[in-house]
């Protein structure tokens, strides 16, 4: 076993050329454009439409038909943009060594910059018209009424926009507002000296973050893991005061903007765009903290199964058992639609169509982009890029991306272009629900206790990583932001105390703590790059757990209605604020019960894991 390869790395096989892969496993982009010359024609049309839009400046106040004309042209530009961008971008991802295609992709980016300039007049010109006037127009035209939510939401967002002088002043600050993040990125990556050490087992290791993670997930010697943990954290401890100063700069910057725009708190400012009440985050944090018992039970179970006298944070990634099970793509193709049987025959049929329709780019080839995604192209089926390698992780990635793709299919089929895309706040609901249904399917057909343990650990680690850890991070952000709002100092000691306190609050007595965990906050890129963002992973997870509970609920008579509510959520795309859409799907993130649905899910999974281990 190669200790330093990622935990989910495929066996080292020589990479194939794309041309050596059967067409059946490659996407067919002809539904976007048949060839590059058709793309060129569309590119030229898009360019022309962008100029046409610029010429509409100054017309909006003339009446409702002028506003409608501008909104419709904006939709035409949007739809063309999707096709022109994705054709170049998806072709590029097939083989990123191709410079000609890369040049075409960049050509689209340049055109997009032009489009942004050519349409910059639109929002201010619309907002200069009184809302009451625009609402009269919306009432008077069925075609214009389609845009009601988009238009009214623009006015709502206007609440915290300053006058011209204020906005100009704020815009001048943009040149230096990214400085603390840039400095963090340089300190934690470009300038970071990854430690090289000889582990107690005698193996030498250089610990980049990726290699450190891989070591914790594969190295069965606790002494090795402990040594790696110490060496890795020392690199951050060496600059602890610098990290604290940079994070303080991020907090002070955001407090400056929040106050300048008239928000009470930074959380309120962060949630205003999606119209989310701040109580959602408070509820999430409070209920998760109160529901830490199954997490602690899982840690204690791991300690026992792994036969460890002491159990540390660096012991939490090692698999409980190893199996060498392969999941060939052609087999999984049948399992996936069967796994979503609770969502109905029509849903299964649509999923089969995607899987059979050459929308999936399955295998890795020379030059292909890594990772996985689902690309929504309005007017075409969703295209999925995978790097499928027959592992369990690859199957769950497919199930995850399939959830995104089905969301796209249903939203596109039921929404006009303006509402066809959805926000991150709902995006991870169908992807996580799709994974949960797949897990359920696999558990039902698996009798081998070792395989059950692997499946259950996969699911539990998913909840720990995308739910508990993210809520703990959100909790950290809340506490740090509040100190700044109260005018209190932010130092390395203060941040270390918050983080260490949270770690103990969530994991209780189940972990033997190392003083070095105090510094872990310093490494988390989201804290510096996208403050108050990670909570959305957790709210999506909670929403999906609550929906799943309703769909699989007893009594059976209530299930069809729950399925319909869920499908309505997918069909709704971005036609309303995410909280409203979720409420219609039967999910209220302001209620304790919604968050408790994840706690219950984890509790059941840990019980199932205990049973499977018992049987071994």
Binding site for Zn ion (CB under 5 A): 431
Query: What span, in angstroms and rounded, lies between the C-alpha atoms of 561 and 452?
Result: 31
Beta carbons of 334 and 445 less than 8 angstroms apart: no
Helix ranges restricted to H, 178-291: 179-185, 209-218, 222-237, 240-260, 266-272, 279-290
Clarify whether 45 is annotated catalytic.
no
Shortest approach of Zn ion to residue 608 CB, angstroms? Answer: 25
Beta carbons of 378 and 82 less than 8 angstroms apart: yes
Shortest approach of Zn ion to residue 403 CB, angstroms? Answer: 8
Tokens of 426: 């709902």
Beta carbon nearer to Zn ion, 429 or 480 = 429
Tokens of 585: 């799907």
Beta carbon nearer to Zn ion, 436 or 612 = 436
Query: What span, in angstroms and rounded, lies between the C-alpha atoms of 417 and 377?
Result: 11
Which residues lie closer than 8 Å to 449 by C-beta, 6 or more apart? 612, 613, 615, 616
Q: What pairing do the DSSP bridges indicate for beta strands 196-198 and 373-375?
A: unpaired
Shortest approach of Zn ion to residue 102 CB, angstroms? Answer: 26
CB atoms near residue 339 (< 10 Å) = 25
Beta carbon nearer to Zn ion, 37 or 370 = 370
Q: How far is CA 600 from CA 437, 546, 548, 606, in A?
A: 16, 10, 12, 10
Which residues lie closer than 8 Å to 579 by C-beta, 6 or more apart? 274, 275, 276, 277, 280, 589
| Element holding 375 (H helix, E strand) | strand 373-375
CB atoms near residue 444 (< 10 Å) = 9
Shortest approach of Zn ion to residue 259 CB, angstroms? Answer: 34
Query: What span, in angstroms and rounded, lies between the C-alpha atoms of 38 and 222?
Result: 59
- Residue of 401, 428, 477, 546 with catalytic role: 401
Query: Using alpha carbons only, how large is the chain's radius of gyration in Å?
Result: 26
Q: What is the DSSP code string of 403-433? A: HHHHHHHHHHHHS-GGG-S--HHHHHHHHHH
- Residue nearest Zn ion, CB atom distance: 431
Which residues lie closer than 8 Å to 233 by C-beta, 6 or more apart? 516, 517, 519, 520
Beta carbon nearer to Zn ion, 248 or 431 = 431
Query: What span, in angstroms and rounded, lies between the C-alpha atoms of 90 and 93?
Result: 5
Shortest approach of Zn ion to residue 398 CB, angstroms? Answer: 12
Beta carbon nearer to Zn ion, 278 or 469 = 469
Which residues lie closer than 8 Å to 459 by C-beta, 6 or more apart? 435, 436, 439, 605
Q: How far is CA 213 from CA 216, 218, 317, 324, in A?
A: 5, 9, 8, 21
CB atoms near residue 521 (< 10 Å) = 24
Beta carbon nearer to Zn ion, 216 or 336 = 336
Beta carbon nearer to Zn ion, 431 or 470 = 431
Shortest approach of Zn ion to residue 426 CB, angstroms? Answer: 11
Query: What span, in angstroms and rounded, lies between the C-alpha atoms of 594 and 543?
Result: 7
Q: What pairing do the DSSP bridges indicate for beta strands 360-361 and 383-385?
A: parallel
> CA-based angle 448:400:88, to the nearest 5?
140
Phi first, then psi: what are they for 384, rounded to 5°? -115, 130
Beta carbon nearer to Zn ion, 254 or 435 = 435
Shortest approach of Zn ion to residue 407 CB, angstroms? Answer: 10
Matching residue, tokens 């992709």? 105
Query: What span, in angstroms and rounded, lies between the C-alpha atoms of 172 and 207?
Result: 40
Catalytic residues: 401
């Amino acid at each position: 076993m190669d200790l330093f390869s990622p935990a989910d790395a495929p066996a080292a096989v020589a990479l194939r050329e794309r041309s050596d892969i059967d067409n059946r496993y490659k996407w067919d982009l002809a539904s976007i454009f048949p060839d590059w010359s058709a793309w060129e024609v569309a590119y030229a049309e898009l360019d022309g439409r962008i100029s046409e839009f610029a010429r509409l400046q100054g017309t909006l106040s003339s009446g409702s038909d002028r506003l409608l004309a501008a909104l419709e042209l904006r939709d035409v530009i949007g739809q063309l943009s999707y096709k022109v961008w994705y054709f170049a971008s998806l072709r590029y991802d097939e083989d990123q060594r191709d410079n000609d295609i890369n040049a075409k992709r960049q050509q689209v980016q340049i055109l997009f910059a032009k489009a942004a300039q050519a349409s910059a007049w639109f929002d201010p010109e619309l907002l200069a018209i009184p809302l009451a006037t625009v609402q009269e127009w919306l009432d008077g035209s069925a075609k214009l009424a389609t845009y009601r939510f988009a238009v009214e939401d623009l006015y709502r967002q206007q609440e915290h926009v300053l006058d011209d002088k204020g906005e100009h002043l704020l815009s001048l600050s943009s040149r230096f507002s990214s400085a603390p993040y840039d400095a963090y990125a340089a300190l934690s990556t470009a300038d970071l000296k990854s430690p090289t050490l000889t582990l107690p087992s005698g193996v030498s290791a250089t610990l980049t973050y990726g290699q450190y993670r891989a070591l914790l997930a594969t190295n069965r010697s606790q002494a090795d893991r402990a040594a790696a943990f110490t060496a890795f954290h020392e690199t951050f401890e060496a600059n602890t005061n610098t990290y604290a100063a940079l994070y303080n700069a991020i907090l002070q910057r955001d407090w400056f903007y929040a106050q300048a725009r008239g928000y009470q708190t930074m959380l309120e400012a962060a949630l205003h765009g999606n119209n989310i009440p701040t109580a959602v985050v408070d509820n999430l944090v409070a209920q998760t903290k109160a529901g830490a018992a199954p997490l602690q039970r899982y840690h204690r179970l791991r300690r026992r199964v792994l036969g460890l006298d002491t159990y540390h944070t660096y012991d939490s990634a090692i698999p409980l058992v190893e199996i060498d099970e392969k999941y060939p793509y052609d087999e999984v193709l049948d399992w996936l639609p069967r796994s979503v049987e609770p969502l109905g025959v029509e849903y299964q049929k649509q999923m089969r169509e995607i899987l059979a329709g050459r929308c999936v780019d399955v295998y890795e080839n020379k030059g292909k982009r890594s990772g996985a995604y689902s690309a929504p192209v309005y007017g075409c089926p969703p295209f999925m890029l995978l790097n499928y390698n027959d592992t369990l992780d690859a199957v769950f990635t497919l199930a995850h991306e399939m959830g995104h793709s089905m969301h796209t299919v249903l939203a596109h089929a039921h929404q006009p272009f303006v509402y066809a895309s959805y926000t991150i706040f709902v995006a991870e609901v169908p992807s996580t629900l799709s994974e949960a249904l797949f897990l359920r399917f696999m558990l039902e057909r698996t009798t081998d206790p070792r395989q059950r343990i692997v499946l259950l650990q996969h699911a539990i680690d998913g909840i720990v990583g995308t739910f508990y850890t993210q809520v703990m991070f959100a909790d950290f952000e809340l506490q740090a932001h509040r100190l700044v709002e109260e005018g209190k100092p932010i130092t390395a000691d203060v941040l270390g105390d918050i983080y260490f306190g949270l770690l103990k609050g969530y994991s209780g007595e189940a972990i033997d703590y190392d003083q070095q965990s105090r510094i872990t906050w310093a490494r988390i890129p989201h804290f510096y790059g996208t403050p108050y963002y990670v909570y959305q992973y957790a709210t999506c997870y909670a929403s999906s757990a609550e929906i799943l509970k309703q769909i699989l609920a007893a009594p059976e008579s209530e299930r069809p209605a729950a399925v319909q509510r869920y499908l309505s959520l997918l069909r709704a795309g971005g036609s309303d604020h995410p909280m409203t859409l979720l409420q219609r799907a039967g999910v209220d993130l302001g209620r304790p019960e919604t968050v408790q649905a994840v706690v219950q899910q984890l509790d059941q999974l840990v019980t199932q894991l205990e049973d499977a281990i018992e049987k071994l």
